[in-house]
Amino acid sequence: MTIDTNTMISITEANQNFSKVARVVDEHGSAVILKNNIPRYLVIDFSRAEKEKVAKAEDVHAISERLLKQNKEAYEVLAK
């Protein structure tokens, strides 16, 4: 998982200013809360969590098919 540095917030700042955390999530889709300068917590938009839940319900074959379709051009280049 890649982390955008604009979404990183210290736990102290999150505790004192949770509205900032909510604003970051609204703008970027997620916020990473750091504890002792280490990513510790991930706050995501609820609708994104619902989408992740649906993805877990898919079987492995369906996920593979979807990924193949999404990345078809890249796989063709790699196959050469």
Q: pLDDT tens, 33-70?
A: 999 999 999 999 888 877 766 666 667 778 788 888 98
Alpha-carbon span 9 to 37, nearest angstrom: 9
Alpha-carbon span 24 to 14, nearest angstrom: 11
Contact status, residue 39 vs residue 32, Cβ threshold 8 Å: yes
Pick from 11, 64, 66, 77: which is nearest to 42 by CA?
A: 11
Residue 54 has which token pair? 């649906």
Q: Output the pTM of the full model.
A: 0.60
**5 falls in which pLDDT band (50, 70, 90)?**
confident
- For residue 58, what pLDDT is reported? 63
